[in-house]
Every structure is written in C-alpha cells, then in structure tokens.
Amino acid sequence: MANYDLTPRIAPNLDRHLVFPLLEFLQERQLYPDQDILRAKLELLNQTNMVDYAMDIHRAFYHTEDVPQDMVDRRAEVVARLKALEEGASPLVSFLQNENAYQELRAEKQYNLQMLNERYQIGPEQIEALYQYAKFQFECGNYSGAADYLYLYRTLCTNSERSLSALWGKLAAEILMQNWDIALEELNRVKEIIDSKSFSSPLNQVQNRIWLMHWSLFIFFNHDNGRTQIIDLFNQDKYLNAIQTSAPHLLRYLATAFVVNKRRRPQFKDFIKVIQQEQYSYEDPITEFLACVYVKYDFDAAQQKMRECEEVILNDPFLGKRAEEGNFASVPLRDEFLENARLFIFETYCRIHQRIDMGVLAEKLNLNYEEAERWIVNLIRTSKLDAKIDSKTGTVLMEPNQPNVYEQLIDHTKALSGRTSKLVSQLLEHAQTQQAAR
C-alpha cells in the first residue's frame, strides 16, 4: 500500500515540525521499516533545535546509550543561544506580562510603538528580539510559548513581511498544539493576506497557496466543520488552479471531501471534470473511483476501487484518523466514505436501469443480500429512491421518471405570458410617463 502514500509529496510543503505527526502516523501503520522512519526523523531533527528529542531518537536508532559529541555540543549551544535571546527580548516580555502595562496598548500601532519607546525604552531592536526569541522557541519545540510570543509580536510589528512570517509561525504552533479552532482562525487570516497581498511574482503567490492548503489539511480533517470548509477553500478557482498546477495529489483530499459531503452536488460535477483532466498527472484509487462511477460507468471497476479506497484511507495520515471509543477504535471517515461511495454507485446504477437483481446489487454494493435489502428499503422509505422491490423474483424495479411531454411544453411556455404582460405594462408605463412629461 505504500505506493499510495503521499507523505513524500506532502512533506516538502510543510514545516519541518509539521512532518513529525506524519512520520508518527507512518510508524504506527508500519508501512515502512522502522529504521527508515527513525532515520528520517533524525534528519529532520538535525535542522531543528529539539536536541533532546533528537538524542532520544538517536538512541533508538542506533540502539546505544551514548550520543555523539556534536549533539551534546549542539545542545549546549542551543541553550546558550536561547538564553541570549531571552535576555534580548526580556524587556518587552516583562512589559507584556505586566497586565497593567499591557492595558495601555491601543489599537493603533504607531501610537503603541511611540509609547513603548518613550516610556519603556523599548525600540525596534527589542521587538525584533521578540520575534527571534519566539522563532527559537518554536524550533525548540516549545510551541505554546512560541504561539504566545508571536501573537504579541504581531500586535507590535510594522513590517508586513515579518508579520506574515509570524502568522505562519503561529499557525504552525497552533496546529502542533492541536488547537483546531484557533488554528482555523489563523488559517483564514493567512489566507486573507495571501489573497490580498500583491506578491512579487505570481509564482510566489501560488507557492504560498500550496503551502496553505497543505497546512490546512491538518485542520480540516480534525475540525468538526472541516469537511465543508475544505471544499470551500480548495474548490476556489485560485486554489484549484494551484492544485492542478503544482500539487495534484491534493485532489485526493478534495475528492474525499466531496464524497463524504452530500450537499455539494453542483460543484461536484465540475470537480469530476477536473479529475478527468488531471488523470494524466495524478491518479489514486479515490479519484479513479469517481472516474469509474461518473465517467466510465464501469461499476465493477468502481467496486474494485472502492475496496482500494478503504486501504488508502486507512493509510493516509489525514484521512485515517482514529476515533477511540472505549477500546473500540474506528476510523469514522472510512465508514462515512464507504457509505457515500456505495450510494454514489447505487444512484448512478439506478438511473440507467429498469430492473436490477438484488443479488447483483448486493455484490456491487459490497453488502450481503439481507443487508442490501434493508439498505434499499431504507432508501425507499426515506424517499431517496423511487423504486419497488419485487420480492418474489428478487429484483428492484425502478419507477420510470420520464418527464411528460405536456409538462415539458407547459414548462417552456409558462413564463412567456408573464414576461409578455410585464413587457406590455412596462411599455404602457413608459408611454404614460412620456405623455405626462409633455
């Protein structure tokens, strides 16, 4: 199943720290040898300041107790640097921690800066130091501290570039702390800035969007309302363009979101076309499933793909999230997906059939006969399906729903009289006003 794993494609678009959860997941799923994952982790950590963690991994990786000298050195260095930065930012930090002083800040940045400068001798250097400190905190894995400081920094920062970086940092920190609600807010803030800001080159803008979408995966598949929002975000033209251009693998998530979301039919049709169009650049069981049902009308293949989809979902770090209930673990998204996928197949299948054998249908739906019958009866009862079951022959009979010719005719002409009378009245009105004017 490793060939459908998207981690290598997603990771480059994430922050270093955001990759850890993915690697953790992979380790758990046992898709790759443990050693590989550990090595990957170690490499990731080498660039961060989370030296302690790196040491742990190193021990696990080499099965030794001692750690190389450079790691120890690095640890000392990191600690020293942290100290230095803390010192640099301390005036501001202490000011900000002081409730009363903090109250003095106002909405206007310029005023704040001036005030800080005059009363507390806090100048641009200190503010800059705060940023560096927060960044260092983040790199050390102290996300909550980083998030706090970055938030404060943003209230004082005047440089818009820096402000954006800080915002990204905050977003990452919130994601890593799994504060989905706050993260979502931050996400929207970043999105606004990206959309409104004029980038030096369109390339940059697209790149930013790609990042944003990748990061947002964490939020959307964990937030309650995420599945609608992911469609809202990804299906915007600009973002869809970016996906098609640089990151077609994101189509998997959009496709999944569409499948589990029943109320998105109009956009869904367009989305099918996108999938078709991108077939040459990206394919995985989920998109293939949609293509089978809605393009090729190949139901056997669709059923086959459905089984593959299950695997893919289970192995995807975002889609395969576990919900633990007591000691019974399930993957809610998988169940939802399968249910909806089944419905998709069934719907399309019914549209082109007049009479269907229940046995075949059950097979197509990956259900046994009884289950299938119950399922169909349920559908009929909730009036989602206009059909009857012929129990004796074991078939489902579709009710023909051909539109009546006369109805159609009436439909066509219904509006005409209204329009004409409206026209006439307008003409009359016009004539009268003209007469009145004379």
Partner 1 sequence: MASRFWTQGGDSETEEEESDYEQEDNEVPVEDINKAAKSKYLQGSDTESDDEDGQKRVVKSVKDKRFEEMTATIDQMKNAMKINDWVSLQESFDKINKQLEKVMRVNESDRVPNVYIKALVMLEDFLNQALANKEAKKKMSSSNAKALNSMKQKLKKNNKQYEEMINKYRENPEVEEEEDGDDDDEDGEDEDSEFEEDPSKLGMESDAEEDEDKEAGEDDANETGPGWEKMMSKKDKLMDKQFKDPSQITWDTVNKKFKEIVAARGRKGTGRIELVEQLTFLTRVAKTPAQKLEILFSVVSAQFDVNPSLNTHMPINVWKKCVQNLLTILDILTQYTNIVVDDMVEPDENETQKGTDYNGAIRIWGNLVAFLERIDVEFFKSLQVIDPHTREYIERLRDEPTLAVLSQNVQEYLERAGDNKGAAKVALKRVELIYYKPQEVYDAMRKLAEQNEGGEGEADGEPKAVEESRAPPSFVATPEIVPRKSTFPESSRTLMDILVSLIYRSGDERTKARAMLCDIYHHALLDEFSTSRDLLLMSHLQDSIQHMDISTQILFNRAMAQLGLSAFRVGLIAEGHGCLSELYSAGRVKELLAQGVSQSRFHEKTPEQERMERRRQMPYHMHINLELLEAVHLICAMLLEVPNMAANSHDAKRKVISKTFRRLLEVSERQTFTGPPENVRDHVMAATRALRQGDYQKAFDVINSLDIWRLLRNKDSVLEMLRAKIKEEALRTYLFTYSSSYDSLSLDQLAKMFDLSDKQTHSIVSKMMITEELHASWDQPTRCMVFHDVEHTRLQALAFHLTEKLTVLAESNERAQESRIGGGGLENLPLRRRDGQDYAAAAASGGTARWQDLSFSQGRHGTGGGRTGYNAGGRTYSGQAGGFSRDRTGQSRGVGRTYQTGSAARASQMDGSTRMVSLNRGAYA
Residue 212 lies near partner 1 (rule: CB under 8 A) = no
Q: Give the nearest distance from C-beta 166 to partner 1 in angstroms.
A: 23
Which span (49-57, 233-241, 255-263, 372-380) binds partner 1, by CB under 8 A?
A: 233-241
Distances in Å between the Cα of 331 and the Cα atoms of 200, 229, 299, 348, 409 are 43, 20, 25, 26, 50
369 lines the binding site for partner 1 (CB under 8 A): no
356 binds partner 1 (CB under 8 A): yes
Residue placing its CB nearer to partner 1 in the complex, 69 or 434: 434
Q: Single out the segment in contact with partner 1 by CB under 8 A; choices: 75-83, 100-108, 306-314, 412-420.
A: 412-420
Alpha helices in 116-201 (DSSP H): 124-139, 143-156, 160-177, 180-196
Q: Note the maximum CA span of the chain.
A: 104
State the minimum distance, in angstroms, from the CB of residue 369 to partner 1. Answer: 15
Minimum gap (Å) between residue 288 Cβ and partner 1: 15
In the complex with partner 1, the residue whose CB is nearer, 52 or 195, is 195
- Which DSSP letter does residue 388 get? E
The one segment of 47-55, 115-123, 380-388, 410-418 that binds partner 1 by CB under 8 A: 410-418
Nearer to partner 1, 59 or 238 (CB): 238
- Would you count residue 407 as binding partner 1 (CB under 8 A)? no
Phi, psi (5° rounding) for residue 423?
-60, -50
Q: Confirm or reject binding of residue 430 to partner 1 (CB under 8 A).
A: yes
**Interface with partner 1 in residues 16-75 (CB under 8 A):** none
- Cα–Cα distance measured from residue 235 to residue 219, given in angstroms and rounded to the nearest whole number: 17
Calculate the alpha carbon distances from 438 to 411, 425, 431, 434, 435 in Å.
Answer: 42, 20, 11, 6, 5
Q: What is the DSSP letter of 404?
A: P
- Taking the complex as a whole, the smallest distance from the CB of residue 436 to partner 1 amounts, in Å, to 15
In terms of C-beta density within 10 A (0-12 exposed, 13-18 middle, 19 or more buried), how is residue 367 classed? middle
The three state secondary structure string of 63-122 is CCCCCCHHHHHHHHHHHHHHHHHHHHHHHHHHHHHCHHHHHCCCCCHHHHHHHHHHHHCC
| The token pair that represents 417 in the structure block | 């009289």
Which of 39, 296, 322, 374 is in the footprint of partner 1 by CB under 8 A?
296
Report d(CA 365, CA 359) in Å as an integer.
10
Place of tokens 């790691």: 71
Closer to partner 1 by Cβ: residue 222 or 244: 244
Residue 323 or 423: which CB sits closer to partner 1? 423
Question: In this chain, which of 57, 210, 219, 365 binds partner 1, going by CB under 8 A?
Answer: 210
The length of the chain in residues reads 438
Residue 384 binds to partner 1 (criterion: CB under 8 A): no
Provide, rounded to whole angstroms, the least separation between the CB of residue 52 and partner 1: 36
Binding mask 242-261 for partner 1 (x = CB under 8 A): x-xxx---------------
CB atoms under 10 Å from CB of 130, counted, come to 26
Q: Which two tokens stand for residue 360?
A: 């075949």
Per rule CB under 8 A, is residue 177 in the interface with partner 1? no
Give CA–CA dist 353/355, Å, rounded. Answer: 6
Neighbours of 348 (CB within 10 A): 16
Contact residues for 314 (Cβ-Cβ < 8 A; gap 6+): 29, 320, 331, 334
Structure tokens at 220: 């959307």
Q: Which is nearer to partner 1, 242 or 319 (CB)?
A: 242
In this structure, the strands spanning 328-330 and 387-390 are: unpaired
Least Å distance between CB 179 and partner 1? 30
Considering only residues 297 to 326 of the shown chain, the ones binding partner 1 according to CB under 8 A are 297-298, 300
Interface ranges with partner 1 (CB under 8 A)? 199, 201-203, 205-207, 210, 237-238, 240-242, 244-246, 270, 273-274, 276-277, 280-281, 295-298, 300, 348, 351-357, 360, 393, 395, 398, 400, 402, 405, 408-409, 411-413, 415-416, 419-420, 422-423, 426-427, 430
